[in-house]
Structure 1
Amino acid sequence: MLLISSALLVAFFVSVLTIKVLLPLAPHIGLVDLPNDRKKHDGAIPLIGGISIYTGVLIASTFFVEQSQLLNLYFISSALLVFIGTMDDIYDLSVAPRMIFQGIVATLMVFGAGLYIHDFGNLFALGNVDIGRYGMIFTMLACIAAINAFNMIDGIDGLAGSMSIVTITSVAILTVLENANADILLPLILVVAIIPYLFYNVSTRNPRGKKIFMGDAGSMFMGLSVIWLLAIGTQSSDENTAVFRPVTALWIIAVPLMDMFAIMFRRIRKGVSPFKADNGHLHHICMRLGLSSRQALWAISALSITLALCGIAGEYFNTPEWLMLSLFILVFFGYSFSIQHAWKFVRALK
């Protein structure tokens, strides 16, 4: 318990210290977010939240988490994403360099760490679906998808951080439910390192002029952390035993995943790039319905928590995987339909 408490304190205070050091420096190096047609915030906001989270997790893990090649590759991969994310935050890079770095990170995850999703469980009540080596390709695509899912959902204060906390906390809960003696230190460190960012990002008690954003560095780091933990949690290996079923992972990452696929499908159908930014995300629709940014955050967080709890309950009560998958598909199509026709609902309400 003392080890866990010490690790969490270090993660928290290193994250706070990093914010305090970078706050006055960010404007001088261009690491700020300026308002435009899509971004309605006031003034130049430092994009340092992601760097502070990564630094807190790195330092705490170095001193308190058992070192391994898997952990080292996780931090190397994360460092690459934080770097390219920071460059994107400063220079507004095109899609190509971001995708290249994401591909490198996915390759490190699969071929460096040997971490890939191949066993999908008994999804169709006909025995386990195991795609073997093809899982390497699937995992690389899943890694890139998760990184972009959290990057895309980072549209209002606190949303990407809250979605990360929901998913990572769910992983920790599922791990403890399966094995009370399991090591959940890294997920806990990740959650605690996010808290200072959320205070500076959304708290009404935060001093005026001290607001920060997560930035692409942070949202991409969160996406990688989530897919990394999900791959470890759902797949058995020589060093690791799966602690929850792959179908459960869909439920605990549901909102970022559904939002990304729904919005990309809509963009492709309109004949534009799936990576072209627009105002069609779930948080935009909530605000068009009359919710404030804070109310939209609470509403979406409540939805995410509800779906995650459904996944945890399904795992705990050993609900058949085919049934969990069928219910998730129904939720996904219901969500997609609502997103596609949201503007009709908005006009009708007005």
Structure 2
Amino acid sequence: MASYALLRTLHPLAARFGLLDHPTERRKQHRQPTPLVGGIAIFLALLLALLLTVQIDHRLAFGLGGAAVLVVVGGLDDRHGLGWKPRMLAQVVAALLLTLGAGVQLTSLGDLFGLGPLALGVFAVPFTVFATVGLINAFNMIDGIDGLAGGVALIALLALLPLSSGTGTEVVLLPAIAAIVPYLLCNLGLFGCRRYKLFLGDAGSLLLGYLVTWMLIGAVQAPIGSVQAPSALEPAAAIWLIAIPLLDALGVIAKRLLKRRSPFGADRGHLHHQLSRVFGSTQRALVVLLSAAALFAGIGLVGQALGVAPAVLLGMALGIFLVHLAAQPLAPRAYRRLMRRRRAACSPMAVQQPEPVLQ
């Protein structure tokens, strides 16, 4: 309820603060200026819920501090267009606050190669920072059609819900889920929320990536001083919970680098753009991607529950990524062929005339 109330309050204030997304670029899907306050509302609702229900210790304070850095810098970017360098700096600062201040670190990658647990040792902090920044950017990249970033984040957090007990992240997980749901209703215009249509903005997409990373590492994290202790979630299974943003980000970056372009640019080569063109609808693309996200999350959780070896789970994930990467050069050609067939089917010559009735 707090999130919905904040969304309704911030919606009319967006224009006053210059937080509107104007459809001035070809890749934009909307047709009228739309408020960019979804992420701010989610963060304020999460912060309010935690202040009212739990005692904020230093670890939680550092974790929330990292989220605040991203929301502030993301909001400034939504307002002024800061560019990728200030955003990247903010992500590194937030990752360091989470890693060093809140103590959320990947100390082991589990038995990824069938040779025993792979302890990170002195590389725990830099690897965690790298993974955090990478996943934050992955969520920022998939925020291209209504409901996608929020829906994928919600699926990942819901999948973590039965695993969160005793990880130290359960106090954040439930309020985060409760804050995201009202945003999705307003973003998708469901259940009478169409008049409060809004977007996450960079503040929101960066925040969602950070929250998912925080909760994932909390579930994967081994107890301090004992990398042999079992964790709630195997790192190999965790990959499946974030498969869609990883597939999209790695595929897009690889394609841009092969074309000798900046990996930080913007284009219409993302997975959601491709599927929107194929299906002729962003709504259908959204359904396909969220269904895939839920399926992948289910594979990760069921695979761990059935005792599938982490190396097998990792190998399956790499196989899907390689298939996706190999299909990238074929996508434009397949799309052009599909469009030719559609145009041919809709042409006047393709419409069969009824046969005359003999008297």
Distance 2:238 2:194 in 1: 39
Larger CA deviation: 77-86 vs 232-241:
232-241
**Partner residue, 1:224:** 210
Distance 1:249 1:203 in 2: 31
Aligned residues: 335
Distance 1:227 1:183, change over 3 A: closer
Distance 2:17 2:253 in 1: 33
Q: CA deviation at 1:49?
A: 0.5
Unaligned stretches of 5+ residues in structure 1: 1-12
Distance 1:295 1:112, change over 3 A: same
Q: Which one-letter code corresponds to 1:279 in the other structure?
A: R
Distance 2:219 2:272 in 1: 29
Distance 1:335 1:304 in 2: 15
Q: CA deviation at 1:46?
A: 0.3
Residue 15 of structure 2 aligns to a residue whose secondary structure is helix
2:4 to 16, 19, 33: 16
Distance 1:43 1:174 in 2: 41
Distance 1:183 1:110 in 2: 14
Q: CA deviation at 1:185?
A: 4.0
**Partner residue, 1:31:** 19
**Partner residue, 1:55:** 44
Contact 2:168 2:218 in 1 (8 A): no
Q: CA deviation at 1:38?
A: 1.5
Distance 1:117 1:339, change over 3 A: same
Distance 2:318 2:197 in 1: 38
Residue 349 of structure 1 aligns to a residue whose secondary structure is helix
Distance 1:145 1:187 in 2: 21
Distance 1:330 1:187 in 2: 31
- Please tell me whether residue 324 in structure 1 is matched to residue 304 in structure 2: no
Distance 1:333 1:166, change over 3 A: same
**Partner residue, 2:348:** none
- Please tell me whether residue 67 in structure 1 is matched to residue 67 in structure 2: no
TM-score by length of 1: 0.91
- Please tell me whether residue 243 in structure 1 is matched to residue 229 in structure 2: no
1:187 to 173, 182, 194: 173
Contact 1:152 1:260 in 2 (8 A): yes
Larger CA deviation: 147-156 vs 189-198:
189-198
- Please tell me whether residue 283 in structure 1 is matched to residue 272 in structure 2: yes
Larger CA deviation: 197-206 vs 323-332:
197-206
Residue 219 of structure 2 aligns to a residue whose secondary structure is helix
TM-score by length of 2: 0.89
Q: CA deviation at 1:245?
A: 0.8
Residue 27 of structure 1 aligns to a residue whose secondary structure is coil
Structure ID, larger Rg: 2
Larger CA deviation: 282-291 vs 307-316:
282-291
Distance 1:230 1:316 in 2: 17
Contact 1:175 1:244 in 2 (8 A): no
Residue 133 of structure 1 aligns to a residue whose secondary structure is helix
Distance 2:68 2:93 in 1: 12
Contact 2:189 2:197 in 1 (8 A): no
**Partner residue, 1:136:** 125
- Please tell me whether residue 162 in structure 1 is matched to residue 162 in structure 2: no
Q: CA deviation at 1:290?
A: 2.7
Q: CA deviation at 1:323?
A: 0.8
CA deviation profile, 1:227-280 (whole Å, cap 9, x unmatched)? 111111111224997211111110001100111011011111111110100000
1:271 to 260, 272, 289: 260
Identity of aligned residues (%): 34
Distance 1:340 1:315 in 2: 33
Distance 2:205 2:169 in 1: 25
Distance 1:252 1:66 in 2: 29
Distance 2:153 2:30 in 1: 23
Residue 266 of structure 1 aligns to a residue whose secondary structure is helix
Q: Which one-letter code corresponds to 2:13 in the other structure?
A: L
Contact 2:189 2:196 in 1 (8 A): no
Contact 1:174 1:312 in 2 (8 A): no
C-alpha RMSD of matched pairs (Å): 1.9
Q: CA deviation at 1:208?
A: 5.1
The 5 Å alignment of 1:68-217 reads: 68-175=57-164, 184-206=170-192, 209-217=195-203
CA deviation profile, 1:207-234 (whole Å, cap 9, x unmatched)? 5542100111111001011111111111
Q: CA deviation at 1:286?
A: 0.7
Contact 2:67 2:207 in 1 (8 A): yes
